[in-house]
Structure 1
Amino acid sequence: MNLPRDSRAFSRLLSAALMAVPVLALTSACGGDDGRGETEAIASVPGTPSVTGPSGSASPRRSGTGDKGAFYDAQLTYVQCMRGKGGVKEFPDPKLSGHLDWTAIDELAQKSGTHPVKGGGKEHDVCGSERTAAMMLEPKRDAQKDYESMLAHAKCMRDNGVSAFTNPTMSGGNVMPGGDPSPASPRIDVRSPAYKQARQACEDRLLDGLEGRQ
């Protein structure tokens, strides 16, 4: 698989997969507007997402399977992998909540100008199993609150000059992040002063753990 060269684009694609949970059946529904209004946009999900577990086998992501202590420990294991096998010695510690410090990761990614900071290591996703193990232990989140937080953040980003920033969507109770409308071939320049200014102005709209996901 060819990964997008922009680190935030890769992060968004990864988050879209990891934030989804398997459901027995999905039905398409209509609602919302063109992705820029305040009404909820409903999108269908073409298939049940899965991630590669520590054993290397494909398995659906489970949400809320661990407590905060286990989540923090798993994230720390991922961080240590990134600093070791991943070759990113300055990879930042997780927050006390267990969530990664995406502000610091963004800064490091832009400073280094390389994909490994967010791509799971200097080799092809060398720390992917550790990252997946941590995500599977993330305490259960409130999907509706996450959606509302991301929606407020997307609106703020557009109000602050990033006009292409899209809304998140919900389907089957899952939240799919918004952001760049074409993450594989980014239309938003995340290195521009205008984008950085907007991100700083809107960072308080995102709940803890949502930074870097859209």
Structure 2
Amino acid sequence: MDGPSSVAASVGRMNFPITTDRRAASVRPRTAALVAVPVLLLTAACGGGNGGDGGAEKDVAIADVPRAPATNGAGADKDGESAGGPPAGGSEFYDAQMAYVRCMRAEGGYKDFPDPRLSGYLDWDRINEIGSRPGANAGIKGGKGGACVEELTAAMAAEPERDQQKDYESMLAHAKCMRDNGVSRFANPTMSGGNVQPGGDPNPVSPSIDLNSPVYKQARETCAPKLLDGLDGMQ
């Protein structure tokens, strides 16, 4: 990981799925759309309108039937975000994450600390940008003086269980990509006791990778898609 210590590595795993209260609201329009299908088909089958056998009108009627968004799970679209609000499940995690975010703004010294993404995980692109400012990196995880460590710990404890093998494979691909794009000292992740340990700077206590170099920044941008959601702040 690029952070100053192994503690920061575990700290990076924070981010929060969103409440399910609006899921029912997104289900109702989809149900209505499905009910509309037989009505439109019946209308088209009856012909009329421009005369002839009604084939043209039938085609138009079918084309106008609303389609429900494609999903990969309950209430989520192909990108893992809800079409009508937060993704289903994980409201405890999201609430804990928001408590951490509020603490970081009010007590942690980061008034512009960003909201989580709709997926619930923290927006590490923006967080790292804030942390790159002069004198800002020291408290970017946990708040200055550790003001929000309690909220951070609670958020980490509430995070849904992850597939450690998939996380490892994702971070391994990311580490290789970073080296292929000029960050030659970027270390691989490791597995310990069934849990993945992030890679990154081989000596976080005395960093040897310049996080502000153009080569590093370009590599981060190029390799970001290699990381699964929720891992972008870990290495």
TM-score above 0.5: yes
Aligned residues: 160
Does residue 10 of the first structure (1) align with residue 11 of the second (2)? no
Secondary structure in 1 matching 2:161: coil
Matches within 5 A, 1:114-193: 114-122=136-144, 124-193=145-214
Assess, with a 3 A threshold, how the Cα gap between structure 1 residues 90 and 12 changes in structure 2: closer, same or farther: farther
Deviation at 1:95, TM superposition (A): 1.2
Check if 1:198 corresponds to 2:192: no
Q: Secondary structure at the match of 1:175?
A: strand
What SS is found at the alignment partner of 2:132?
Answer: helix
2:120 counterpart SS class: coil
What is the Cα deviation at residue 171 of structure 1? 1.6
Identical pairs, percent: 59
Do residues 107 (structure 1) and 129 (structure 2) align?
yes
| CA drift at 1:17 | 6.9
Once the two structures are overlaid, the 10-residue window that deviates more, 68-77 or 175-184, is: 68-77
TM (norm. structure 1) is 0.70
TM-score (norm 2): 0.64
Q: How much has 1:174 moved relative to structure 2? A: 0.6
Larger Rg computed on CA atoms: 2
1:198 partner SS: helix
SS at match of 1:204: helix
Q: Which amino acid aligns with 2:146?
A: D
**What aligned pairs does 1:68-83 form with structure 2 within 5 A after superposition?**
68-83=90-105
Q: CA deviation at 1:126?
A: 0.7
Whichever residue aligns with residue 3 of structure 2, its letter is: A
Whether the aligned pair in 1 keeps the contact of 2:11 and 2:152 (CA below 8 Å) is: no
Contact in 2 for aligned 1:13/1:183 (Cα 8 Å): no
Given residue 115 of structure 1, which amino acid in structure 2 is its aligned partner? Answer: N
Which consecutive residues of structure 1, in runs of 5 or more, have no partner in the other structure?
1-6, 20-66
What CA distance in whole angstroms lies between the structure 1 residues aligned with 2:103 and 2:2? 20
* Structure 2 unaligned regions, length at least 5: 14-88
8 Å CA contact 2:107, 2:147 repeated in 1: yes
Q: Hey, what's the Cα distance between the residues in 1 that align with 2:138 and 2:220?
A: 22
What is the CA-CA distance between 1:78 and the residue it aligns to?
0.2
Cα deviation 1:25-72 (Å, max 9, x = unaligned) = xxxxxxxxxxxxxxxxxxxxxxxxxxxxxxxxxxxxxxxxxx521111
* Matched position secondary structure for 2:196: strand
Q: Secondary structure at the match of 1:163?
A: coil
Q: Would you tell me which structure has more helix in proportion to its own residues? A: 2
Shift of 1:14: 2.0
Which whole-Å CA distance do the structure 2 matches of 1:107 and 1:117 have between them? 13
Whether the aligned pair in 1 keeps the contact of 2:12 and 2:141 (CA below 8 Å) is no
Q: 1:118 to 1:8 in 2, by over 3 A?
A: farther
CA contact (8 A) 2:105 2:113 kept: yes
